[in-house]
Amino acid sequence: MLLVFVLATGIAAVWLRNLLASAMLLGIYSLLMAALWVVLDAVDVAFTEAAVGAGLTTALMLFAIWLTGRQEKPPVRKPWFPLAGALITGGLLIFGTIDMPKFGDPQAPAQVHVAPYYLENAEAQTGVPNVVTSVLASYRGFDTLGEVTVVFTAGMGVVVLLGGLRRRRRTDET
Amino acid sequence: MDVLGHFNYWVAIALAMVGLYAVTARGHLIKKLIGLSLFQTSVFLLFISIGKVSGGTAPIIAEGFTVYSNPLTHVLILTAIVVSVATLAVGLALTVAIKRTYGTEEDDEIEALDRAEDEQ
Amino acid sequence: MKDYFVLRVMAKLLIPFILLFGFYVQMHGDYGPGGGFQAGVIIAAALILYAIVFDVGPARRVAPMWMLVALSCIGVLLYASVGVATMMAGGQFLEYGVLAHDPAHGNHLGILIIEIGVGVAVAAAMLMIYFSFAGRR
């Protein structure tokens, strides 16, 4: 049921020409996604999605739309080619899922590879009951260091992109 | 074939295709970014669906529970969400910068302006 | 939006609790859902709410840009320096077990410190992004 709602808001966000409505729909979509993560047992992910997707992304989107313009112009050509491309790719991908293990199967390859080790040993080795935190910070510490660096770089990049422009405009005026 | 057993994957694929369509067919740069974030969330959905174990609970070790969902996928997606907002922010900043420079954010108009500049 | 009385009062009421919740999520990430990423975003969201309701100017006075840049650098460096510290203590990069006598204890300590680093870096980076967008008007 949630999946259907998610799909509907996603399609609507792309369909609408009014970008403001699109951005709001994207926020609703993120909130629905967060609910879906809770249903699928991913509470940490739900937390992040609710804070980032529904809160921060919407605010940034609204600011960007406000700085550029809120209406998309009507299309000049019929989008048959992208539509066909998307449909063919989607069909091939669905064909690929036929071999995938059933949803929720405890014997799926993803479930028997490295996850049981984490679940059995994480608390004894790190003293942290939340396995997600211990895997994030300890077993995959390198990975997380990389992610933090990405976020840091993005922040710096935005400051340079938007702040540098302002300085140039000021020199133009003087 | 089991329809319910693969429904999550199919919704993920459908969302990915909606995102792909938006990125390729729409000319507005912000619309393209919306499509990109739809595609990203569809990948998240695929991963979390793979990590779900039926009858399992959230992977926080507690007494009384033995079956937990796969924590590894949660970790990967957790960081991916934060990175996705970072990439989205950079994309939006680029859009704003393009708007300042070109005065438009439709890709065909930008292309026309570029071509006009080349011919001069 | 600072002309709306209801909004102003509600924002002032809510912001301390959002901040408190952010710190709770930061420190309680080991036992429940949460951690540095979420806490950083929640703390950033509290300041962003302040910026939306009371205009960007006062919010930027609370957290000026140079401070945010410095804080995000400190966050990343705190994370990396934990790795260097473990190397100094005789382990491998980011092998927290050597931080205390008991490996499990050391791991717990290491996770706590790097989560703080993550939280500081993410909060500062998000605020940097928001302020550079909001400051464009």
**B:C CB pairs within 8 Å:** 22
DSSP state for residue C98 in the 8-state scheme:
G
Q: What are phi and psi of B104, to 5 degrees?
A: -150, 160
Mutate which: B82, B87, B100, vs C, most C CBs within 10 A: B82
**C102: containing domain:** 5-134
Whether A103 has a pLDDT exceeding 80, the answer reads no
Q: What radius of gyration do chain B's Cα atoms show? A: 20
A and B: number of Cβ contacts within 8 A = 266
Cβ neighbours of C128 in A, within 8 Å: 155-156, 158-159
- The H-or-E segment that residue C70 falls in is helix C65-88
Between chains, do B60 and C31 touch, taking CB under 8 Å as contact? yes
* A174: confidence class by pLDDT, cuts 50, 70, 90: very low
pLDDT of residue A166: 52
Chain A partners within 8 Å of B45 (Cβ): 6, 33, 36
Q: Average pLDDT, whole number, for chain B?
A: 82
- Neighbour-count burial of A112, counting CB atoms closer than 10 A to its CB (0-12 exposed, 13-18 middle, 19+ buried): exposed
Residues of B with CB under 8 A from a CB of C: 58, 60, 78-79, 81-82, 85-86, 89, 92-93, 96
Mean pLDDT of chain C: 83
DSSP A38-83: HHTT-HHHHHHIIIIIIIIIHHHHHHHHHHH-SBPPPPSS--HHHH
Beta strands, E only, chain C: none
Residue B30 has a pLDDT of 85
Q: What is the pLDDT of residue C62?
A: 79
User: Between C74 and C111, where is the model more confident?
Assistant: C74
ipTM: 0.82
Mean pLDDT of chain A: 78
- Say whether domain A1-72 belongs to CATH 3.60.110.10: no
Q: Which residue, C88, C56, C77, C70, is CA-closest to C125?
A: C70
Q: Mean pLDDT, to the nearest integer, of C42-67?
A: 83
The H helix count followed by the E strand count for chain A is 9, 0
- Looking at residue A19, its pLDDT comes to 81
- Of B42, B23, B33, residue with least CA distance to B80: B42
Query: Averaged over A92-108, what is the pLDDT?
Result: 78
Gap between the Cα atoms of B27 and B49, Å rounded: 32
What is the rounded average pLDDT of the residues A110-119?
Answer: 75
Q: For the stretch C1-30, what's the b/e string if a residue is b when 16 or more beta carbons lie within 10 angstroms of its beta carbon?
A: eeeeeeeeeebeeebeebbebbeebbeebb
CA C43/CA C40 separation, integer angstroms: 5
Which residues share a beta bridge with C61? none
Most confident residue range from A96-110, A149-163, B59-73: A149-163
| All partners of chain C with 3 or more CB pairs under 8 angstroms | A, B
pLDDT, tens digit (0-9, with 9 covering 90-100), for B64-107: 677 777 888 888 888 888 888 888 889 988 888 888 888 777 77
Indicate which CATH number applies to the domain containing B44. Answer: 1.10.287.3510
Q: What is the pLDDT of residue B3?
A: 65
> Is residue A119 within 8 angstroms of chain C, CB to CB?
no
For B4, what's the count of Cα atoms within 13 Å in the CB-facing half-sphere?
3
Range of the domain at B35: 4-119
> A18-44 pLDDT, tens per residue?
888 888 888 888 888 888 888 888 888
Q: Which has more confidence, A32 or A108?
A: A32
- The count of domains in chain C is 1
Q: Cβ separation of C129 and A154 shorter than 8 Å? A: yes
Tens of pLDDT, residues A47-82:
888 888 788 888 888 888 888 776 777 766 677 888
* Inter-residue contact B56 to A107 (CB < 8 Å): no
In chain B, how many domains are there? Answer: 1
What is the C-alpha separation between C25 and C35, in angstroms, rounded?
6
Query: Could A51 and C80 be called an inter-chain contact, meaning their C-beta atoms sit closer than 8 Å?
Result: no
pLDDT at residue A165, rounded to an integer: 47
C61-82 burial code (b ≥16 CB/10 A, e <16): eebeeeebbebbeebbebbbeb
The pLDDT value given to residue A1: 67
* Closest residue in A to C134 (Cα–Cα): A63
Please name the chains neighbouring A, where neighbouring means 3+ C-beta pairs under 8 angstroms: B, C
Instruction: Pull the structure tokens for residue A170.
Output: 């000021």
| Mean pLDDT of the region B19-45 | 86
Residues paired with residue B106 on neighbouring β-strands, in sequence order: B28
Look at residue A99 in the predicted model and tell me its pLDDT. 76
CA gap A132, A116 in Å, rounded:
13
Residues of C in contact with B85 (CB under 8 A): 126
A46–C contact, CB cutoff 8 A: yes
The percent of residues in chain B predicted with pLDDT above 90, rounded, is: 0
Buried b (16+ CB within 10 A) or exposed e, A120-136: eebbebbbbbbbbbbbb
Mutation to test the B interface, candidates A119, A139, A167, most B Cβ within 10 Å: A119
Q: Which residue in B79, B77, B105 sits closest to B92, CA to CA?
A: B105
Query: Which residue of chain A is at minimal alpha-carbon distance from B87?
Result: A154
Nearest Cα residue to C116 out of C47, C34, C61: C34
What is chain B's length?
A: 120
